[in-house]
Amino acid sequence: MIANSKRTFLQITEKTAKRTETLKFARQTKFEKRVREAVGLRRVIDCLVENRSVVVGHNAFQDFVFVWSQFIGSLPETLEGFCKVISEAFPKYSF
DSSP letters spanning 70-81: III-PPPSSHHH
Summarize pLDDT for 49-80 with one digit per residue, the tens. Answer: 888 888 787 888 898 899 889 888 899 999 99
- Collapsed DSSP state (helix, strand, coil) of residue 63: helix
CA separation for the pair 12, 45 (Å, rounded): 43
Summarize pLDDT for 1-34 with one digit per residue, the tens. Answer: 666 666 787 878 888 899 889 989 999 999 999 8
CA separation for the pair 70, 32 (Å, rounded): 18
CA separation for the pair 89, 42 (Å, rounded): 14
For residue 90, the one-letter residue type is F
Position with higher pLDDT, 94 vs 9? 9
Mean pLDDT, residues 24-48: 87
